[in-house]
Homo-oligomer: A and B are copies of this chain.
Amino acid sequence: MPSALRSVRKATCQPTDPSHAGPDLRPVEGPAADEELAALTKAVGHPARVQILRLLVRREACVCGDIVDELPLAQSTVSQHLKVLKEAGLIRGDIDGPRVCYCVEPHALRRLRALVASL
């Protein structure tokens, strides 16, 4: 049975509650902000990773296997892209039994928006 026929699994993790986090106080300019902006945009700067982000935003959360099913890439490749996004702080992965449930980090996205807006 091909994996494409697998059903979408229920997502168990939730994005970080943004109500606890006030506005980001870090500056949007200066050398540190430049490095941060470069690192974030570099992480986003690949079509597969953009697709993954969109998928997670649309579905709020998503099991790794579902992401693999949506992209025309090998499982190991998708896993590497997820790792890049996670190391950039843009997504989070919660272990859910035998699976891993990924979801976006809203405050990282807001930070990215703020940095891009400062350009």
Contacts and interface: CB of A to CB of B under 8 A. Distances in A.
Contact-residue size bin, chain A (C-beta under 8 Å from the other chain): 20 to 34
Contacts of A51: 34
Contacts of A44: 37-38, 41, 45, 116
B113 A109 contact: no
Shortest beta-carbon contacts, A-B, top 3: A42-B45, A41-B45, A41-B41
Interface of A: 29, 34-35, 37-39, 41-47, 49-51, 53-54, 57, 109, 112-113, 116-117, 119
A contacts with B: majority SS: helix
Given A35-B50, A38-B45, 9 more contacts: A38-B46, A38-B47, A38-B50, A41-B41, A43-B45, A44-B116, A54-B119, A57-B119, A116-B116
Contacts of A112: 116, 119
A55 B34 CA distance: 11
Contact of A119 (B46, B47, B109): B109
